[in-house]
């Protein structure tokens, strides 16, 4: 198949030497099944032709941080926060109770609806974490359900100490590192923990990451969301693929990120929804930190699937350029998932791409709040 | 027709004594043609039934400030501004050149596409200004084209001094108040001017407002967008329906608004897109100012039709409550257009309403960037 008559094509291909986004005007892309086989000028031919009518085409968004499998709604908590209450990690317990009370089929239906919404938002690859079960059985079923939707599943048993372990956090960490990990590892690619005051401390997080690694998982870490802390440097030390949030970054944190192999994943929609200050993306990029943008879709602190919204915030409030933000939401996400088959439109890569109802990717920021995703191709097929 | 099985109905009806939004749970609304005839519990009957399936229904958004008729794109100017350039009124000239060069049919097609987008965003009443013609002939055709789309047309000849009048602003104001007004008044309900350094001063704006009033139009004014100034107090003195932007409000401005009959219309998407500070909506509402929210859809400073985005910004960054923001985008907009047939769901009012793909209006803020407009009814008919 050929997607032809593309007015502006973002490839993210550095081989083209056409800026960060590897932009080609008047282009076409040929796929064979799930894979791109040719990127070139408009007018390439194939057995089937789709006309982009001069629109802009970009790589599909890679959303490397979501919590998509949950039940319940925390709109009231959100409204109270907007009226002045502060955000703490504690609300996770509310979602955990609702999730435990839901059947597999209920959770499956809810997560599928959110995945459809994410596809309509242009997200072609999505990471999904557990973390609203917090028992061996519930965590295992959440990663199993997540695995029905994506290969990028993350075991986040260390999301919050559940009420039944109050005052016994270390006992809970032992459970996470032992039987819970054993039950979840077969369904998971990643191990994650929430390193924050009110959640888990640096030693507990290190124990979780190391146990996960011993079970064949690769680390990622919730770090420095609500204040400065040891999370980012721990993530780098433990060779995590990503340190997520990074709202508060010290000079030492930035130095660690630059020297290590860990991507800084910014989640500006969470800063929006918790009224935190936005991360200083400009400073991080200026220092040479590799970054990603993700939605952090979850019912407490960031209930959005709109990567476009995240990109707009990243430009307006994190002072990234539009190009940097689009790159971070596509190629950056791929790096944060240590994937080299996605995040770029080039021969041999997956045919994951998005037709925008706009002549330029700039419109993702220039037209904030406007749904601009016209068609999402996942593995060469129209997903919505 | 009955819209039944509404989980949460926002009426904005103060007679119900159910908070600012006049909320009813498990409701139904009966329309006869364009008009609501009954609001009550779920299960009312009529010849035709639409099932809201437990969703939230709100009054249609009333967008009291847009510049929908224009040609051209200023994405590059926007990108430069996001990279550090500052916003001035001067870019209006770029759009004016493109608009003058376009045929009626080209402008009509562009404006219609934007109107469709606005309907999909839940906007049921829209005000449209001229202001990208700046000649007698071009201003007249813009208000005429606007009048094909809405009764809420505004003559904004005093948008910017066009290049051909450089250094002769007073001569241009004479043209606006004379032949241009004469050509535009038959197609216009409102008269507007841009009171700002770089645009028109207070005496020029007063002359325009008074000339408009003498021609049967009612005033509204762009005021205090880029700094403190005399605009807001002028708007109140001249009994304008609305002072728009109000990003910078002095204590005297607030006092004038409280004592007068002029609505303060906030345009937070413009503050977003020009990286201005957000207006202090909390302070204004706390002082007793009546407010509206509008999109300010235009190619320079706010190219969005998303009232949901404006509501989210108004809560997050102007510190309105969710209820205040939703009210301002519906009943507030109606007040800013001096209309009492819209902005509320009550017997005798127009059947302009929106079914949200959400259980509560709170989701407009709780789920930022997510398109939540399921169905828009305009005058009892499904518009999208």
Query: Residue A267 to residues A203, A274, A379: CA-CA distances in angstroms?
Result: 24, 11, 26
Residue B39: the pLDDT is 98
Residues of A whose CB is below 8 A from B275: 316
CA atoms within 13 A on the CB side of B354: 32
CB–CB of A224/A256 below 8 Å?
no
C-alpha closest to that of A231 among A258, A255, A261, A200: A200
SS3 B130: coil
Domains along chain B with CATH numbers:
2-60+344-382 (2.30.40.10), 62-336 (3.20.20.140)
Residue A156: the pLDDT is 98
CA–CA distance, B120 with A322 (Å, rounded to integer)? 26
CA–CA distance, B324 with B317 (Å, rounded to integer)? 13
Question: Which residue from A minimizes the CA distance to B121?
Answer: A370
C-alpha closest to that of B360 among B58, B119, B40: B58
Query: Residue A256 to residues A230, A234, B225: CA-CA distances in angstroms?
Result: 11, 9, 43
**3-class SS string, A189-208:** CEEEEEECCCCECHHHHHHH
Residues of B whose CB is below 8 A from A272: 312, 316, 368
CB-based contact (8 Å) between A369 and chain B? yes
Alpha helices in chain A (DSSP H): 75-82, 92-100, 104-120, 136-149, 169-175, 181-184, 202-214, 231-237, 251-259, 268-274, 281-287, 307-316, 322-327, 333-336, 363-366
Query: Residue A274 to residues A208, A281, B32, B279: CA-CA distances in angstroms?
Result: 27, 18, 44, 20
CA–CA distance, B337 with B330 (Å, rounded to integer)? 11
Cβ contact (<8 Å) for B275 and A316? yes
Helix axes B136-147, B92-100, angle to 10 degrees: 80
B25: region left, alpha or beta (phi > 0 left; psi from -120 to 50 alpha): beta
Of A73, A359, A363, which is closest to B359 when you measure between CB atoms?
Answer: A73
C-alpha closest to that of A278 among A253, A303, A251, A315: A315
CA–CA distance, A305 with A310 (Å, rounded to integer)? 9
CA–CA distance, A282 with A266 (Å, rounded to integer)? 12
Question: Which residue from B minimizes the CA distance to A298?
Answer: B367
Q: Are strands B56-59 and B353-356 parallel, antiparallel or unpaired?
A: antiparallel
CA–CA distance, A93 with A62 (Å, rounded to integer)? 28
Question: Which residue from B minimizes the CA distance to A76?
Answer: B362
Q: Are strands A35-41 and A49-51 parallel, antiparallel or unpaired?
A: unpaired
pLDDT band at A17 (very low <50, low <70, confident <90, very high): confident
C-alpha closest to that of B341 among B36, B108, B101, B132: B36
CB-based contact (8 Å) between B366 and chain A? yes
Cβ contact (<8 Å) for A269 and B310? no
How much is the mean pLDDT over chain B?
A: 97
Q: Are strands A263-266 and A242-245 parallel, antiparallel or unpaired?
A: parallel
Q: What are phi and psi of A350, to 5 degrees?
A: -65, 145
CB–CB of A268/A329 below 8 Å?
no
pLDDT digits (tens, 9 = 90+) for A304-355: 999 999 999 999 999 999 999 999 999 999 999 999 999 999 999 999 999 9
- Count of CB atoms situated within 10 Å of the CB of A76: 12
pLDDT digits (tens, 9 = 90+) for A142-177: 999 999 999 999 999 999 999 999 999 999 999 999
Cβ contact (<8 Å) for A303 and B78? no
Of A79, A304, A309, which is closest to B362 when you measure between CB atoms?
Answer: A79
CA–CA distance, B273 with A93 (Å, rounded to integer)? 37
**How confident is chain B (384 residues) per 10-residue block, as mean pLDDT?**
98 91 98 97 96 98 98 92 79 92 98 98 98 98 98 97 95 98 98 95 98 98 96 98 98 98 98 96 98 97 98 98 98 98 98 98 98 98 94
Angle among Cα A338, A368, B55 to the nearest 5 degrees reads 95
Cβ contact (<8 Å) for A321 and B269? no
Is residue A50 pLDDT above 90, yes or no?
yes
Angle among Cα A351, A353, A354 to the nearest 5 degrees reads 160
Integer distance in angstroms from the first to the last C-alpha of chain A?
17
Residue A170: the pLDDT is 97
Cβ contact (<8 Å) for B78 and A366? yes
Residue B85: the pLDDT is 81
Report if pTM > 0.95: yes
Angle among Cα B62, B64, B68 to the nearest 5 degrees reads 105
Q: Are strands A353-356 and A373-378 parallel, antiparallel or unpaired?
A: antiparallel
CA–CA distance, A125 with A91 (Å, rounded to integer)? 27
- Count of CB atoms situated within 10 Å of the CB of B201: 16
Smallest CA–CA distance, residue B306 to chain A, in Å, is 5
Of B120, B303, B360, which is closest to A75 when you measure between CB atoms?
Answer: B360
Please, what sign has the CA dihedral across residues B364, B370, B375, B376? positive
CA–CA distance, B259 with B243 (Å, rounded to integer)? 14
- Count of CB atoms situated within 10 Å of the CB of A58: 27
pLDDT digits (tens, 9 = 90+) for A264-281: 999 999 999 999 999 999
Residue B13: the pLDDT is 95
B171: burial class by Cβ within 10 Å (0-12, 13-18, 19+)? Answer: exposed
pLDDT digits (tens, 9 = 90+) for A220-254: 999 999 999 999 999 999 999 999 999 999 999 99
Is residue A90 pLDDT above 70, yes or no?
no
Smallest CA–CA distance, residue A59 to chain B, in Å, is 20
Cβ contact (<8 Å) for B309 and A359? no
Give the tokens for residue B144. 């005429």
CA–CA distance, A255 with A216 (Å, rounded to integer)? 28
C-alpha closest to that of B86 among B216, B191, B226: B226
CB-based contact (8 Å) between B376 and chain A? no
Give the tokens for residue A124. 């072609």
CA atoms within 13 A on the CB side of A266: 41
Give the tokens for residue B119. 């309907």
C-alpha closest to that of B258 among B288, B233, B229: B288
DSSP class of residue B135? S
CB–CB of B311/B365 below 8 Å?
yes
Smallest CA–CA distance, residue B74 to chain A, in Å, is 9
**Binding-face residues of B in 325-364 toward A, CB within 8 A:** 359-360, 362-363
**3-class SS string, B171-194:** HHHHHHHHHHHHHHHHHCCEEEEE
DSSP class of residue B279? P
CA–CA distance, B157 with A382 (Å, rounded to integer)? 46
C-alpha closest to that of B216 among B193, B244, B265, B182: B182
CA atoms within 13 A on the CB side of B168: 9
Cβ contact (<8 Å) for B362 and A83? no
């Amino acid at each position: 198949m050929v997607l032809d008559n593309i007015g502006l094509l973002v490839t993210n291909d550095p081989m083209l030497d056409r800026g960060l986004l590897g932009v080609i005007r008047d282009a076409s892309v040929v796929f064979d099944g799930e894979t791109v086989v040719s990127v070139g000028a408009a007018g390439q031919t194939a057995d089937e032709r789709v006309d982009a009518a001069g629109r802009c085409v970009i790589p599909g968004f890679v959303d490397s941080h979501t919590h998509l499998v949950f039940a319940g709604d925390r709109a009231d908590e959100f409204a109270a926060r907007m009226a002045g209450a502060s955000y703490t990690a504690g609300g996770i317990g509310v979602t955990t109770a609702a999730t435990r009370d839901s059947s597999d089929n209920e959770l499956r239906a809810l997560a599928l609806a959110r995945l459809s919404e994410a596809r309509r938002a242009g997200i072609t690859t999505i990471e999904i974490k557990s973390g609203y079960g917090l028992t061996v059985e519930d965590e295992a079923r959440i990663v199993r359900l997540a695995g029905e939707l994506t290969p990028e599943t993350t075991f986040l048993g260390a999301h919050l100490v559940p009420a039944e372990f109050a005052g016994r956090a270390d006992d809970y960490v032992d459970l996470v590192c032992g039987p819970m990990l054993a039950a979840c590892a077969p369904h998971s690619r990643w191990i994650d923990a929430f390193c924050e005051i009110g959640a888990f401390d640096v030693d507990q997080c290190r124990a979780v990451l190391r146990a996960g690694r011993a079970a064949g998982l690769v680390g990622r870490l919730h770090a420095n969301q609500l204040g400065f802390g040891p999370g980012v440097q721990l993530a780098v030390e433990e060779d995590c693929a990503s340190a997520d949030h990074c709202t508060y970054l010290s000079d030492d944190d930035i130095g660690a990120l630059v020297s290590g192999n860990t991507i800084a994943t910014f989640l500006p929609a969470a800063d929006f929804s918790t009224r935190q200050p936005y991360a200083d993306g400009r400073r991080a990029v200026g220092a040479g930190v590799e970054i990603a943008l993700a939605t952090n879709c979850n019912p407490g602190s960031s209930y959005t699937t709109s990567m476009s919204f995240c990109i707009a915030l990243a430009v307006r409030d994190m002072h990234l350029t539009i190009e940097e933000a689009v790159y971070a939401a596509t190629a950056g996400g791929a790096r944060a998932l240590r994937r080299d088959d996605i995040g770029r439109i080039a021969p041999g890569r997956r045919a994951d791409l998005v037709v925008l109802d706009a002549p330029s990717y700039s419109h993702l920021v220039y037209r904030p709040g406007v749904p601009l995703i016209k068609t999402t191709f996942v593995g060469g097929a129209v997903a919505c």
